[in-house]
Amino acid sequence: MKTGFFLSLFALAAFAGTDVSAQARQYEQNALYVRFKEISSPKLSGTGRFLATEKVAPLQKLQADYGLHRTMFCMRTLGQPILERTFELRFDSIAKIDRLIEELQNDSRIEFVERIPINYIQGMPAGQAGKDGADDPLYQTEYGSWFLKLINAEAAWEKQTGSAEVKVAVVDNAVWGDHPDLGIAPEYQYNIASGVSGNSAPPSNVPQDPGCSNTVNCPSYYWSHGTHCAGAIGAVRNNGVGIASIGSGVTLMGVSCPGTDASGQEVRNGFAGVSWAAENGADVISISWGNYTIAETDRAIIQACIDKGIVVVAAAGNNGYKDNPMYPAYLPGVISVAAVNDNKQLSSFSNYGSWVTVAAPGGYVIKNNAESKICILSSTYCTSQNYRLNGYSEFNGMYYDGMYGTSMATPIVSGLCGLLLSANPGLSPYLMREVLMASAQALDKGNNKDICPGSGVIDAAAALLLQEKNVALPGSFDARRVNRQIELSWEAPQTNNEVSRYQIFLDNAFLTEVESSQLNFTHELTTNQETLYRFGVRALYANGDTSLRACADIFVPVLYNLEVAVQPEGCGTISGTGAYPLNQTVSLVAHATKGCTFTRWTEGSTVLGRDSVLDYTLAYNAEIRAIFSGSPDVANDVFAKASPIRIYPNPASSLIRIEGGETSFYAVSIYSVTGRCLLARNFAQGVKLQEIDTEFLRTGTYIVNVLTDNGWYTEKLTKL
C-alpha cells in the first residue's frame, strides 16, 4: 500500500489570529507518527504506551543513523485498532528528517507516515489596541457575570448543579490545578511532555507575578491559557473566592501539552492529551485550539472518542473567516463553537458559517457601539496583566484576568455539557449537540454573520428543559457512503404512538420528508470537495408530537474513480469498482460468466496480476482492464426458473422491484455489460422486497446481481 505524509499546523484559538506562516516552526522537527501494518505491528503489553525502539524490527537498522530515541509512544485510544499500531517516533538527526520519512515509507512493514503538528497560540491578547453565586465576589461585578447571564446560567443553577460524577477535561498548554478556584485533584492532572501524573501546571520557571509592560510579550499570560479555560468550565461556585462557572461541581481534569519554547505559545502533541483524557474517564473534552488541516492520526483519535460516547467541544477559530472550517471542530460528532459579544452578535474575530454548531460568549461587552476591553473573566496562572495594564486596578495581584476568543467560548459550552450530563448521563455526543442547537437563543444578525441554520447562542436553562423532552427518536440512525451516494437508514421509534412521517435534515436545514413506512433515504453527492455531511432525522407523530433529531455525521474526502473495463464484453462482472479516497487500497474481484475464464488485469501495457483478486492502490482516476478468454454464454446468464428471486418489470423504465418471497437478500448491484458497477446497495439485516430507482440508467442492457444465503443470483435487465 502506498503511504502518505501530511504537513499540519494547529493554532490555539484563544486569541485573534496572526499570520500562521510567521511562526518559526510549523511542525515537530524531531518526531513523526508511524503506523505499522497489522501483520508487522509491534505489540504492547497491558495498558502501557511506551515501547523500546530497539525491539521493533523495521527501526533497528535506522536507530544509529538517525538517533532514534530509545522508546516510542503508542497513540492507543479506547481500543481503536489503527491507533493501537500508530506510534510517535522521536529522533535526534533533525536535518535528515526527509530521508527518514522516505526510508520509512519504502518499508513494506509500515503503512503510513506523517508529521506531527505543533499547536500555537495566535495573535493579540485580549484588550490590546442572594442569588446563586452571591458568595463569589468577582461574579457580582460586570466583569464576572455578563457572559453567564447571557446564557441564563442562574435559571439553570436553580434546576441543576454539576455532578462530581461527570469529568470534564481541559487539554491545553498547561492547567494550574492548584488555583484556589479550581482545586483539581492530582490524579486528574497529567503532563504529556513528561509523562508524569499529578501536575499539569506551567513549568516551574514561569513567574506568576511577572509585572509585564504589555501582554503581547508576556509568556506568563500565555501560559495562563489552559487555566483560564478550566475556570470557565468549572470554577467553584459559592466558595467565597473569585468567580462562578456554568459547570461548577463537575470534576475537572487538567491535561498539559506544553511546547519547548519559553514563550508558552507552543502546544505539542495535544491529541495525545485528548487520548489520555479519554483513556482516564473524561465525559467531555474541551479543545480550544485548531487550524485548517489535520493529521490522519489525530482524526482517528477524535473519532475514537465520539464512538465511545465522549462529548468533544472545539473552537471554530478566530480569523473572522466565513465557511472556512477549522479542525478538529470540523470533524464528525464534534460540537464547534463560535464567539459572541454581550449583544448576541458574533464577535468581530470569530469564524462563522453554516458549519459552526453553536455560539457562546467569548467576546466583549459592547459600549458606545464598540467592543470594549471587558471580555471573559476567568482564573489564571499569573497575576492579572491584561486588566491591570488596561486600568482595572481592582484586579492587581489577583489570579484572574480577561481573555477573549473562541477559546473562551468553547469551555463555556463544555461546562454546559457537563451540567447537562449531570442531569442526564445518557446524552450521546450527537444528542448533546442536538439539544444545544434546538434550545439555542437566536443570534442578532445585525452584522450579517450567522452560523448553522436554526442554531444560535447557547441557553443553559432552555437546554436543561429540552433534554427532559420524552418523545421517542428514530433509532440506530446511520449514514454511510456507497460510491458517490450517502445511504441513510434508521429504525422506527420504540413507542406505541403512531408516526405519520419522517423529516430529514442536512446541516440543520430541512432536506426532505418521507412516509412513515420508509426507513431509509439516499442522498446523491453533488460535489467532489472534502466535506463533512451532518444528517438528522426526526419523527412527526399523528398526535402532533415532534421528536428531537437523531443525528449522524459522515466525512467524505475528495474521491477518485476506479473503473474496470471487461474484455470481451459480457464475459464477467467486477466487484470493488467505484469512488474512493486517494491512496486507498481496493480489492477488485473478477467474476467470470458462463463460457469465460479470467486471465489477467492490465493497465495500459502493464500486467497488474493474473489472480482473480487484485489489491489496487488508488493514486489517480484509474481505468484498468479485466481480460477474459472465451465467449459469454448469454443463455446461462439468467436465473434458473426455480430461483426464488423475482426482478420486474423487465424490460424496465424508471423502477424495478426485487422480491425474494420467503428468501431474504442482503445486497443488490447493477453492472454495465463492460463490468462497471453502477449501483450497490447493502442490507445488513436482510430484506425480502426492495424498490430500485433506475431512471439514472441509460437505455440498454445491464446485469443485476442479488446476494442471498445461497450465493449470488444474476439476471440480465433491459432498460427502456
Strand order in the sheet with 251-256: 196-197, 189-191, 251-256, 167-172, 284-287, 311-315, 335-340, 358-361
Q: Which of 277, 338, 271 is nearest to 311 (CA)?
A: 277
Candidate list 179, 225, 228, 523, residue with the active-site label: 225
Residue 604 has pLDDT above 50, yes or no: yes
Strand partners, 284: 168, 311
Q: Which of 329, 271, 255, 336 is nearest to 77 (CA)?
A: 271
Confidence at residue 720, expressed as pLDDT on a 0 to 100 scale: 81
Confidence at residue 584, expressed as pLDDT on a 0 to 100 scale: 87
The Cα 49–Cα 72 span in angstroms is: 8
Backbone angles phi, psi at 349, to 5 degrees: -85, -15
Please confirm, yes or no, whether 225 is among the known catalytic residues.
Answer: yes
Question: Do 51 and 87 touch, CB atoms closer than 8 A?
Answer: yes
Helix, strand, coil percentages for the chain (3-state, nearest 5): 20, 35, 45
Average pLDDT over residues 249-272: 87
Confidence at residue 308, expressed as pLDDT on a 0 to 100 scale: 97
Confidence at residue 643, expressed as pLDDT on a 0 to 100 scale: 63
Q: 619-633 as b/e, with b when 16 or more CB fall inside 10 Å?
A: eeebebbbbbebebe
Distances (CA, A) of 287 to 18, 335, 393: 19, 10, 31
The Cα 91–Cα 32 span in angstroms is: 9
137-466 is classed in which CATH architecture?
3-Layer(aba) Sandwich (3.40)
Confidence at residue 119, expressed as pLDDT on a 0 to 100 scale: 67
Residue 7 has pLDDT above 70, yes or no: no
Q: Which residue has the higher pLDDT, 527 or 169?
A: 169
Q: Which residue has the higher pLDDT, 688 or 250?
A: 250
Residue 599 has pLDDT above 80, yes or no: yes
Helix/strand number for the chain, H first, E second = 14, 42
Give residue 19's pLDDT band: very low, low, confident or very high (50, 70, 90). very low
Question: Do 335 and 357 touch, CB atoms closer than 8 A?
Answer: yes
H-helix segments, 439-501: 460-466
Q: Which residue has the higher pLDDT, 650 or 230?
A: 230
Average of per-residue pLDDT values in the chain:
88
The Cα 312–Cα 594 span in angstroms is: 54
Candidate list 107, 132, 136, 172, residue with the active-site label: 172
Within 316-372, strands assigned E span 335-340, 358-361, 366-367, 370-371
Residue recorded with cell 482516564? 280
Residue recorded with cell 465522549? 310
Average pLDDT over residues 328-345: 96
Residues in the chain: 720
Angle at 417 between CA 411 and CA 422, to 5 degrees: 130
Average pLDDT over residues 6-35: 57
Q: 10-121: which CATH topology?
A: Alpha-Beta Plaits (3.30.70)
Candidate list 41, 248, 275, 407, residue with the active-site label: 407
Residues 433-464: pLDDT tens digits?
999 999 999 999 999 999 999 999 999 999 99
Of the ranges 181-190, 232-241, 480-489, 657-666, the best mean pLDDT one: 181-190
Residues 558-590: pLDDT tens digits?
999 999 999 988 888 888 888 999 888 889 999
Confidence at residue 120, expressed as pLDDT on a 0 to 100 scale: 65
Residues 465-497: pLDDT tens digits?
999 888 999 999 999 998 889 999 999 999 999
Q: Which of 172, 199, 411, 408 is nearest to 268 (CA)?
A: 172
pTM (2 d.p.): 0.85
Residue 689 has pLDDT above 50, yes or no: yes
Please confirm, yes or no, whether 507 is among the known catalytic residues.
Answer: no
Residue 14 has pLDDT above 90, yes or no: no
Confidence at residue 135, expressed as pLDDT on a 0 to 100 scale: 57
**Other Cβ atoms closer than 10 A to 507:** 17
- What is the CATH code for 639-719? 2.60.40.1930
Average pLDDT over residues 632-658: 71
H-helix segments, 248-378: 270-279, 296-307
Distances (CA, A) of 635 to 342, 595, 638, 702: 76, 10, 7, 14
Residues 122-161: pLDDT tens digits?
334 444 333 345 555 776 677 878 999 999 999 999 999 9
Residue recorded with cell 451540567? 419
Least confident of 131-145, 341-355, 395-409, 600-614: 131-145
- What is the CATH code for 475-556? 2.60.40.10
**Other Cβ atoms closer than 10 A to 422:** 20
- The dihedral built from the CA positions of residue 606, 631, 591 and 679, taken in this order, carries a sign that is positive
Confidence at residue 698, expressed as pLDDT on a 0 to 100 scale: 83
Amino acid at 227: T
The Cα 52–Cα 666 span in angstroms is: 46
